[in-house]
């Protein structure tokens, strides 16, 4: 993060390239944090390569709080990749789900219960 900040401030292409390579290879930085750094420092090549590297939508889980911090441009790039994984890839090995996890402190009352209407309907049938 500090190297990215300096490479951005002083237009140091080599340091920026090394930072992108590090972000690509490390597993110690969570996905959301990588995407936030890429978003902040406009690492378009990293984003394209990183998102294309996911072959399974399930592996791209993000905390909702991280997703909410991303720019609309980054959210669009993520959604484009998800759409491709979910609808364009016919691989039988592709997990057909994508999760943006809800933070534990979020209000559960905001969750919509689609089944709630069905329960009312089924009680009328008795």
Tell me how crowded residue 63 is: count the other CB atoms within 10 A of its CB: 18
- Dihedral angle computed from the Cα positions of residues 82, 87, 91 and 95, in that order, rounded to the nearest 10 degrees: 50
Q: Structural domain boundaries of the chain?
A: 2-104
Sign of CA dihedral 24, 28, 30, 33: negative
Q: Whole-model pTM above 0.85?
A: no
Residues sharing a CB contact under 8 Å with residue 111, sequence separation 6 or more, in sequence order: 102
Mean pLDDT of the chain: 73
Q: Per-residue pLDDT tens for 2-61? A: 678 777 676 778 888 888 999 999 999 998 999 999 999 999 999 999 998 887 766 677
């Amino acid at each position: 993060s500090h190297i990215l900040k300096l490479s951005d401030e002083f237009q140091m292409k080599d340091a920026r390239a090394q930072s992108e390579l590090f972000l690509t290879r490390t597993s110690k930085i969570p996905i959301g944090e990588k995407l936030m750094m890429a978003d902040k420092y406009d690492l378009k090549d990293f984003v394209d390569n990183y998102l294309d590297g996911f072959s399974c939508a399930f592996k791209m889980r993000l905390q909702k709080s991280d997703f909410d911090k991303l720019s609309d441009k980054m959210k669009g790039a993520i959604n484009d990749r998800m759409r491709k994984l979910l609808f364009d890839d016919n691989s039988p090995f592709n997990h057909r789900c994508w999760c943006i996890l809800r933070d534990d402190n979020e209000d559960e009352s905001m969750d919509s219960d689609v089944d709630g209407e069905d329960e009312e309907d089924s009680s009328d049938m008795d």
